[in-house]
Amino acid sequence: MSMIWIIVGMAIVTYIPRVLPLTVLEGKELPPFLQGVLKNIPYAVLGALIFPGILLIQPENILFGVIGAAAAFILAAIGADVMLVVLGSIVVLSVYMLIG
Amino acid sequence: MQMSAVAESKAGFKEGLRAGISIAVGYLPVALTFGLLAKTTGLTVIEAVLMSVLVFAGAAQYISLSLIAGGAGAAIIIFNTFIVNIRHFLMSASLNEKMEPETRMKKAVYAFGLTDETFTVIATKEGKSTTGFAFGVMLIAYGSWVINTGIGHLIGASLPSFLQQAMSIALYAMFIGLLVPSAKKDLKVVYLAGLAAALNSLFVLTGLLNTGWAIAAASLLSAVVVEAAGRLRKGAGLL
C-alpha cells in the first residue's frame, strides 16, 4: 500500500511543473525579451541533453559514445530524417559491439 | 469551418504519431530496463507499470528505484522526484509560446505528456504546433513507455545484450537528428546548443549540479545570454 502512495506523490510533484506554465500563461502576452528567451529554450535544451550525456552512455568506454555521436551527426548532416538517424546509429553501434 | 478544423486536427494527430515513433523506439530499451530494475528492486509488476502510467518520467523513476533500494522514506523519494522534474517548468513555459491557443482543460491534459523527448520533438517542429500534433507525439511515446515497462518486468533482459547496449544511443541520436537540420539553417541554433552543452558539461563534470538542475540551468543561461547578445548587437535594447 505504501508503495502506491509514494507513486501517487511522485505523480503529483511531476505533474505540477509540467502543467503550471502551460495553463497559467495561456493567453498572456509576455515581454518580447522573455518571449525570445523561451523560443530559444528548445535548442539550448537539445545541446544540454546531448552533452555530456552521449559521451558517458558507457562511462568505462568513452569510444562507444564517440562512435554513436559521430554516426548520428554524419547521418543528420547528410540530411537523413530523424528516424533514419536513430536506426542508423543503432546499426553502427550494433556492428561495433559485435566486432569490437 | 467546424468540419475543416476537425479534419486539420486529425491530420495533426497522425503527423504527431509519426513524429513520435523515434521516441517510442528510443524509450524501448530504457523502459525495458526500468521494468527489469523495478523487479529486482522488489516492485510488483503492477507497481512498476503504475509508476510508468502515473509518473511518466524516466530519470525520476530510475532515481526512485535507487532510493527505494537504499531504504529511503516516502518524503525523500517524492522530494527528489520534484527536484529532478523542475526542469519541465522551463519546458512548459517555452512550449506555451509554441502551441496554438487552446482551452486550459486540453492543455492540462497534454501537459501530463511533457517529457524531455516529447518537448524537443514538439518544440522544434516548424511553425506553430497544434494540440492534435502534441497528443499524437505524446500518445505513442507514452504507450511505448508503459507497455515496455510491463514487458521489461515480465521477461527481463529479453533482447540480446549487444542490441540493448546499441539501442542506448537511440534518444541521443534523436536529439541530434532534431538539432542538426535547424543548426544548418540558423547559426543562432549552433550558439544556443553549443553554449548550453558547454555549461551543462561544466556543471555535471565538476559535480556542481545534479543532472536535473544542470540541464535547466545550462539551458536557461544559454537562452538568456544568446538572446541578450542578439538584441544588443541589433541595438534593440533588452526590453
pLDDT at B211: 75
Q: Which residues contact A76 (CB under 8 A, 6 or more apart)?
A: A85, B176, B177, B179, B180, B181
- Looking at the partner chain, which of A22, A43, A80 has a beta carbon nearest the beta carbon of B111? A22
**Secondary structure tally for chain B: helices H, strands E:** 12, 0
Q: How far away is chain B from the Cα of A28, in angstroms, using its nearest Cα?
A: 10
- At B85, the amino acid letter reads N
Lowest-pLDDT choice from A30-44, B115-129, B155-169:
B155-169
Which of the residues A35, A49, A87, A98 would you substitute to probe the B interface, choosing the one with the greatest number of B C-beta atoms within 10 Å? A49
Residue B160's pLDDT band (boundaries 50, 70, 90)? confident
Cβ distance B153 to B48 under 8 Å? yes
**Running DSSP on this structure, what letter comes out for residue B156?**
-
pLDDT for residue B2: 55
Nearest to B129 by CA among B90, B94, B77: B94
Cβ of A23 within 8 Å of Cβ of B111? The answer is yes
pLDDT(B37) > 70? yes
Among A15, A84, A86, the strongest candidate for a mutation testing the B interface, having the largest count of B CBs within 10 A, is: A86
Task: Tell me the pLDDT of chain B averaged across its residues.
Answer: 92
In contact, B78 and B102? CB cutoff 8 Å:
no
Give the A:B interface size as CB pairs under 8 Å.
297
How is residue B204 written as a grid cell?
555535471
Nearest-angstrom CA–CA distance, B175 and A82: 9
Grid coordinates of B237:
535594447
What does the pLDDT look like over B118-133, one tens digit per residue?
999 999 999 999 999 9
Instruction: Give pTM, 2 decimals.
Output: 0.90
Comparing CB atoms, the residue among B56, B77, B94 nearest residue A6 is: B77
Q: At B99, give phi and psi (nearest 5°).
A: -80, 150
- Smallest Cα distance from B150 to chain A, Å: 16
CB contact (8 A) between residue B196 and residue A47: yes
Tell me if A54 and B172 make a contact (CB, 8 A cut-off): yes
Q: Which residues of A touch B178 (CB under 8 A)?
A: 46, 82
State pLDDT tens for residues A78-88.
999 999 999 99
State residue B161's pLDDT score.
85
Rounded Cα gap, residues A37 and A22, in angstroms: 16
Give residues 14 to 73 of A whose Cβ lies within 8 Å of B. Answer: 14-23, 25-27, 30-33, 35-54, 57-58, 64, 68-69, 71-73
A59/chain B closest Cα distance in angstroms: 12
> What are the CA-CA distances from residue A11 to residues A15, A76, B85, B161 (Å)?
6, 35, 11, 32
